Amino acid sequence: MKVRRTRSQEQILNLLRGLKRPISAQDLYLELRQQEISIGLATVYRSLDGLKLDGTVQVRTLPTGESLYSLTQEDRHHLTCLQCGNSIAINECPVHELENQLHQDHQFRIYYHTLEFFGLCPDCQSATADS
């Protein structure tokens, strides 16, 4: 089934394809403006929401509440420090089997998953211990 996209969605997808990192909606809006693509911030959010619902874009919400968007390519896993906000990507995934089982049991179409652990990085642990 061919997904019909709006012009705004296509412009956002083109920009996301060129990025090698997740980006916030506000930064995406600024990038589009720098490329002289006239699009409103509300349209950016609406377009991202549509792309998210069809599984083309994934969103990751940071502890600060900021959402970062990227193309759905692979599952993402992170260790995130609650103090400094530093996030370390991890490659191991212990939940692929669970994902397959959930799909089988519930006929739920899974586009991607995220796994995130929260705590303190070594630098923040040292700073806390020194206090």
Query: Please, are residues 82 and 118 in contact by the beta-carbon 8 Å criterion?
Result: yes
Domain count of the fold of the chain: 2
pLDDT given for residue 89 in this prediction: 82
Q: Kindly give the confidence (pLDDT) of every residue in the chain, 131 residues in length, as a single tens digit, with 9 standing for 90 and above.
A: 567 899 999 999 999 999 878 899 999 999 999 999 999 999 999 999 999 998 899 888 887 889 999 988 766 788 989 889 888 888 888 788 888 899 899 999 888 787 888 899 999 999 888 76
Parallel, antiparallel or unpaired: strands 76-81 and 23-24? unpaired
In this structure, what DSSP letter does residue 113 have?
Answer: -
Q: Distance (Å, rounded) from C-alpha 12 to C-alpha 44?
A: 8
Q: Distance (Å, rounded) from C-alpha 8 to C-alpha 5?
A: 8
Which CATH number is 96's domain given?
3.30.1490.190
Which CATH number is 63's domain given?
1.10.10.10
* Residues spanned by the domain of 105: 74-131
pTM over cut 0.85 = no
Same domain? For 7 and 44 the reply is: yes
